[in-house]
Amino acid sequence: MPRERSSQFADAVMTSFMVLAVLFAIKAAEILFRLPLAQFGIVTRTGAGLWGILFGPLLHANLPHLMANALPLFVLLVLLLSNPRYHPYQTLALIWGASGLGTWLIGRGRSIHLGASSIVFGLAAFLIVAGFMMKSWRSAAVAVFVVVVFGGIFYGVLPQAGPISWEGHLCGGIAGAWTAARTMRSR
């Protein structure tokens, strides 16, 4: 059993690293080739903006924006992907889709919402809620770790002026909690 867990952890680290590599490759291509990729973010309540549900989390306004999301995304993805009881790929797909749809519905108009922070908030909320719903010391320890290390991010769901998509953060958090309740209840 310990060998299987270490293999799952190694796979989770490699997959998470590959996800980040894709995000950095997209940003590099955008910068090098001067591609206007932000247009593929979530443009609220528009038909064209629906594509942003798929592509918005892959795009970032600038390199500091990507760097701010990179470490929390990596850590939270490793935690999610290393435990098959979380149904990690189904969970990630639900958080991705629900947070994007929520942002598309409630996001400020005349703005483009992009970045992986909605996924970060969704993963954090999922791991916390799932950790307390599952009857496992391991998942409870993960939940406590996430609260201690990343709990402060939840101030980002409060309405604020400026370019930060608090709507994406809020929808990500709700999507993560909803996904945990849905996934863990059906077990």
- pLDDT tens sequence for the chain (187 residues): 566 778 999 999 999 999 999 999 999 999 999 999 999 999 999 999 999 999 999 999 999 999 999 999 999 999 999 999 999 999 999 999 999 999 999 999 889 999 999 999 999 999 999 999 998 999 999 999 999 999 999 989 999 888 899 999 999 999 999 999 998 876 5
Q: So what's the pLDDT on residue 123?
A: 98
User: Are 101 and 147 in contact, with CB atoms under 8 Å apart?
Assistant: no
Residue matched to tokens 């206007």? 36
User: Which domains are present in the chain?
Assistant: 2-185 (1.20.1540.10)
User: DSSP 3-state assignment of 116?
Assistant: coil
10 Å CB burial of residue 6 (0-12, 13-18, 19+) is exposed
